[in-house]
Structure 1
Amino acid sequence: MSASAPHRPFCAIDFGTSNSAIALSSPGGGAALIPVEGAECTMPTAVFYGVEGLAPHEPPQRLFGRQALAAYVEGHEGRLMRSMKSVLGSPLAEQSTDVGEGRSVRYLDVVSGYLQHLKSLAERRAGAPLERAVLGRPVFFVDGDPARDAQAQHTLEQAARSVGLRELSFQYEPIAAALDHEQGIDREQLVLVADIGGGTSDFSLVRVGPERRRRADRKDDILANHGVHTAGTDFDRQVELAAILPVCGYRGLGPARADGPPREVPSRVYFDLATWHLINTVYSAPRVAELRRMRDFYGDPRQHQRLMRVVDERLGHGLLGLAEAAKIAVAQGGDTVIDLSRLEAGLRAGFDEAAALKALDAELQRIEDAADETLALAGVNAGAVDAVYFTGGSTGFRPLTERIAARVPAAQALHGDRNASVAQGLGVHAQRVFA
């Protein structure tokens, strides 16, 4: 670019399952995160479609990030959408979902609307339109299905192009985290990057160092990538199933029977209540009528009463929020008590680290195995790894990071910014792509 050529801004977007961020280029070079909510450089990946008080012809009012979560918690009429990234690569992306008062939106439009919001914030700061972007992506959107994985990236690309981002490049999120880590080291390292967020757990084995960061093409420095579609939202789901939904009848028993032991209560409704994008399916009129008719399936009638309160008052998303809060409380090193008084006056459930480890053992094992598989794909012995670099919101769960670090015992355990390392690394990559 000549000295007199105008600066064409570009950006890098970390569209995460739980949190998102955007880095913006500057005329002087480089790309840095910008504030997206007040002084915060990261924002919950959440959209609230408000329908309260609207005339029939008026579209839903959208709120984003923390404002979206606040509107939901305050009880405004509408629909909270979270974990939108998890629908990429699934048939749901092209389907519509009810947001209240007879209004519906396509899941793909929810994604594009959120990207448009981030882009608009960056354009306001840049004072110019944005058409060039690097987007992060997990190693696998969908496990074991290359066709659906490719479709997921294509769908995200569709959403980005629909809001005016015409020049697009993708980069693996753990590679971006490695690029962010590389900015601060003074010697070559072999690094296992563990990027564990809300929707996926991704690993990359990467060679980094001061000499290597000068290269435009880093393909040869990436020894292996691997990942699984298991992470923070799966943890929340298992916590809810283990600590909250049993009081509503999950794994509860039916009435005593003369011809054998009591049968277990049907469990499908509980799995749906513990999965963000399926919760609203429980509130359909036929489903509610079916659940109401199941009262005699319960040996403890209080369990059915609590379940119907969840359904009638549409408390599903709130319960999953309580599960997430309990997970965070345990991750910070303490026991917690979950207040379930919305279901029944005085009702509470205890939750501690031992219960969390029992509930999450299968998920944690799957993530550990993915770390091992990454080393195996690279043909590298665990003892050769210099550092394991943790990023992503779920790396705040100490038992998980300890189990991963134990797989590479000689490596130094390093923690990046859980919510911003990927976005910062994507900014580094965007500078190399576009500048």
Structure 2
Amino acid sequence: MSIVFGVDFGTTNSALSVYRNGKVDIVDVDALSPSGSLMRSVLYFDEDHQIFTGQEAINQYVSDGAAGRFMQSIKNFLPNRSFEGTEVFGRKYGIDDLVAIILKKIKARGEAHVGTAVDSVVLGRPVLFSEDAEKDALAQVRLEKAARKAGFKEIFFQFEPVAAALSYEESLPAGAEKVVFIGDFGGGTSDFTVIRVKGGAFARADRRSDVLSLGGVYTAGDKFDSQIMWEKIARYFGRGVKYKGMGKDELFDIPHSIIYTLCQWHRIPLLRARKIREQIRLIKNAATDRKAIENLEHLIGDNYGFFLFQCIEKAKCELSQHDLATVSFTERDLTIREDVSREEFETINRENVRKIAACIDEVVAKSGVTHEGIDTVFLTGGTSRIPFIRSLFEERFGAAKLEQRNAFTSVVHGLGASVPLFV
């Protein structure tokens, strides 16, 4: 059988596996990354039209003093009809062009690893790119178009939680059979499946009959970060500030759309639009807190939203181990030190957790299997480590059924393991 790649193009990180000679290997895709098997799904364009990806993009962005254009969470724009692309230093890039740059880099690194050209790929996709069916279909079309632009000719898609299940299946002894609930938590979506798995070698077979149910919700790691930003940090950038209308004494709130966009790290670059920046400038001149609006201008102009959200994400991760964490950030003359307790984090994210819990219950109900009939719960993705996310599963299935390993590479390994189902 020819060599086939498995590519997990993620909201936050991307990864690569190689299927050849009946075996799956995970390939290091970013030598500069703290974890070589993961590459940050980011792009950086400098003023000389050079394009950088992964950790190199982050390093170059810092080295250039944020003079270029930095992009992150590009996957989240795939289902967005209104975002067809963007212009960078006079050159236009479609959304598929942006994704293709990352996929092409991953493809090149994989080909260097195997020593030959590879034109077949199994791409992971969430159960839901969007809860709108038309937008969901648009996202897959765009992802396929990007893969073709990256040089792939044969393109197959596998649901990410199913891929995680196939990865888990490889750990089972021959003949062992289980009904498994898979929870795959990414940056943009949380995806779930109930699936029958069996240890041992399988002949090529259609596994669709083993998938008892699928479901997903557009609530995941990024939403938890956004909630911290909204509740704890956004006031430094204008949330709650009022301003006088032109020629009026009446006070108005900062437009909700500006603050809402500010609190989603992948959407912050949209605030760079000339019309919005002019609107912010006018608000600043009539604001009750001019300094906060200046902070907002600096965040947009200096493009440091990514680094602010890195600090927020760091605090969120620390709360999985500690009862208190601090969002600590300094830029220009702005210093932020905001404590966040685990209890507070859970309180402000109550609605996000409710949506995830409802989706878990729906997927179990659709499977026709009772909670007691689920043998194992296999969780993957960084968000699955958050204590009150784990508690959702412990309450429903019991702590003894929970398994968690290879949190960041289970999906990409399973994409490689999916190859015999397609080829």
TM-score by length of 1: 0.88
Displacement of 1:427 after TM fit? 0.8
Displacement of 1:92 after TM fit? 4.6
Q: Does 1:168 align with 2:168?
A: no
Change (3 A) 1:349 1:8: same
SS of equivalent to 1:382:
coil
- 1:90, 1:20 → 2: CA distance? 20
Q: Does 1:116 align with 2:112?
A: no
Deviations 1:164-192 (A, max 9, x none): 21112111110110111111123221110
Change (3 A) 1:223 1:85: same
Change (3 A) 1:403 1:212: farther
- 2:148, 2:291 → 1: CA distance? 51
**2:66, 2:304 within 8 Å by CA — same for their partners in 1?**
no
Among 365, 388, 398, the residue aligned to 2:354: 365
Deviations 1:325-374 (A, max 9, x none): 22222233252222343264554222221221122211111111111000
Q: Does 1:182 align with 2:176?
A: no
- 2:202, 2:240 → 1: CA distance? 53
- The unaligned stretches of length 5 or more in structure 2 are none
Please name the residue that 2:121 is paired with.
Answer: 133
Among 131, 134, 138, the residue aligned to 1:151: 138
Please name the residue that 2:80 is paired with.
Answer: 90
- 1:305, 1:337 → 2: CA distance? 24
Deviations 1:376-401 (A, max 9, x none): 11122212111110012322322212
Among 359, 362, 366, the residue aligned to 1:377: 366
Change (3 A) 1:301 1:413: same
The equivalences for 1:159-308 within 5 A come to 159-186=146-173, 187-210=176-199, 213-214=202-203, 216-252=205-241, 264-295=253-284, 298-308=287-297
Among 25, 28, 35, the residue aligned to 2:28: 35
Displacement of 1:87 after TM fit? 1.3
Q: Does 1:49 align with 2:45?
A: yes
- 1:393, 1:183 → 2: CA distance? 21
SS of equivalent to 2:418:
helix
TM-score by length of 2: 0.90
Q: Does 1:24 align with 2:11?
A: no
- 2:398, 2:148 → 1: CA distance? 44
Displacement of 1:404 after TM fit? 2.9
**1:178, 1:208 within 8 Å by CA — same for their partners in 2?**
yes
Change (3 A) 1:322 1:25: same
Please name the residue that 2:130 is paired with.
Answer: 142
Please tell me the residue identity of whatever aligns with 2:9: F
Displacement of 1:410 after TM fit? 6.8
Q: Does 1:395 align with 2:384?
A: yes
Please tell me the residue identity of whatever aligns with 2:227: Q
**1:182, 1:213 within 8 Å by CA — same for their partners in 2?**
no
**2:393, 2:399 within 8 Å by CA — same for their partners in 1?**
no
157-166 or 208-217: bigger deviation: 208-217
Please name the residue that 2:50 is paired with.
Answer: 61
**1:19, 1:43 within 8 Å by CA — same for their partners in 2?**
yes
- 1:335, 1:214 → 2: CA distance? 50
Displacement of 1:223 after TM fit? 0.4
Change (3 A) 1:349 1:36: same
- 2:301, 2:102 → 1: CA distance? 29
Change (3 A) 1:297 1:375: farther
**1:206, 1:224 within 8 Å by CA — same for their partners in 2?**
yes
Please tell me the residue identity of whatever aligns with 1:78: G
Displacement of 1:322 after TM fit? 2.4
Deviations 1:169-226 (A, max 9, x none): 1111101101111111232211100001111100000111226855622111110000
- 1:152, 1:81 → 2: CA distance? 18
Deviations 1:114-168 (A, max 9, x none): 111111111112222111111111111111x222212211111111122221112
**2:66, 2:302 within 8 Å by CA — same for their partners in 1?**
no
**1:248, 1:303 within 8 Å by CA — same for their partners in 2?**
yes
Change (3 A) 1:44 1:309: closer
- 1:379, 1:358 → 2: CA distance? 33
- 1:212, 1:175 → 2: CA distance? 17
SS of equivalent to 1:286:
helix
- 1:218, 1:232 → 2: CA distance? 29
> Identity across aligned pairs (percent)?
30
SS of equivalent to 1:276:
coil
Please name the residue that 1:14 is paired with.
Answer: 8
Please name the residue that 2:395 is paired with.
Answer: 406
Please name the residue that 1:72 is paired with.
Answer: 61
Please tell me the residue identity of whatever aligns with 1:107: I
